[in-house]
């Protein structure tokens, strides 16, 4: 493993009235690509949001370290500035905020990304072209009236613009048609090639992984990481589903 970028140790977390994650241990090295899979309701999205610092979830025990620093109690904006990016399964709409203004504002908060207005326009234009996005998108309100595929393209635009150290992609491929899935796949490829950042891909659809070199695969069942293995574990899941892992979890079986 490369130098550890993200280390989740013994995390137990959930909402005020519902525990969801149980004793989660996860380590992602700098530049690595990890995949998190599991049946619906397993807690995969919750883990992504807990790593990001979503205030809807409470960490009851355990620690989260990023770049060697303990960020367990840091707010989401601090984690973002440190280099963590979360692509949401269902991006929210923000009426009254033009996409271009939003992108300009968030980049200005990152000293390493500050640039002149002219260079910023050129850079955004380059990425939009790369993702087959019309320039007219930039004048529209953030995610308002956008299709699911368009929203995912906007998140890919943010990913390539912000160049995070770690990108957590939560069901980025969910509900996409073939063309939109291709665009998102190209965006992920460009992030890996141009930024060299680490990826934690939360997905059900392994097609989005076809062009990625996956380092480790993790399986979650009922809020527990029950298996971990190489990329070949994805093929096993494709062939046999999650039943074997659900049985092992029910019987208290060990990790693979």
pLDDT digits (tens, 9 = 90+) for 25-36: 999 999 999 999
Q: 2: closest CA among 65, 95, 84, 67? A: 67
Please give the average per-residue pLDDT across 110-116, as a whole number: 88
Q: Which fold has domain 4-250?
A: Rossmann fold (3.40.50)
> What is the model's pLDDT at position 256?
41
> What is the model's pLDDT at position 1?
46
> What is the model's pLDDT at position 254?
46
Cβ neighbours of residue 166 under 8 Å, at least 6 residues apart? 5, 6, 28, 66, 83, 84, 85, 197, 198, 199, 200
pLDDT band at 255 (very low <50, low <70, confident <90, very high): very low
> What is the model's pLDDT at position 250?
77
Q: Is the pLDDT of residue 2 over 70?
A: no
Domain boundaries, the chain: 4-250
- Prediction pTM value: 0.91
């Amino acid at each position: 493993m490369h130098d550890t970028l993200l280390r989740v140790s013994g995390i137990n977390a959930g909402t005020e009235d519902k525990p969801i994650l149980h004793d989660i241990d996860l380590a992602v090295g700098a530049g690595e690509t990890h995949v998190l899979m599991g049946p619906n309701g397993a807690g995969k999205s919750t883990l992504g949001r807990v790593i990001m610092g979503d205030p809807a979830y409470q960490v009851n025990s355990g620690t989260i370290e990023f770049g060697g620093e303990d960020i367990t109690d840091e707010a989401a904006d601090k984690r973002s500035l440190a280099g963590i990016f979360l692509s949401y399964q269902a991006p929210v709409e923000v009426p009254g905020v033009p996409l271009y203004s939003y992108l300009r504002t968030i980049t200005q908060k990152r000293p390493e990304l500050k640039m002149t207005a002219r260079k910023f326009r050129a850079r955004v234009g380059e990425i939009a072209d790369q993702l087959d996005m019309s320039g007219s998108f930039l004048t529209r309100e953030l995610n308002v009236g956008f299709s699911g595929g368009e929203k995912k393209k906007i998140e890919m635009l943010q990913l390539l613009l912000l160049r995070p150290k770690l990108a957590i992609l939560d069901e980025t491929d969910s509900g996409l048609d073939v063309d939109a899935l291709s665009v998102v796949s190209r965006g992920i490829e460009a992030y890996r090639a141009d930024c060299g950042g680490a990826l934690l891909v939360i997905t059900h659809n392994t097609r989005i992984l076809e062009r990625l070199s996956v380092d480790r695969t993790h399986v979650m069942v009922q809020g527990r990481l029950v298996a971990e293995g190489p990329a070949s574990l994805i093929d096993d899941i494709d062939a046999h589903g999650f039943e074997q892992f659900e049985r092992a979890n029910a019987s208290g079986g060990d990790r693979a």
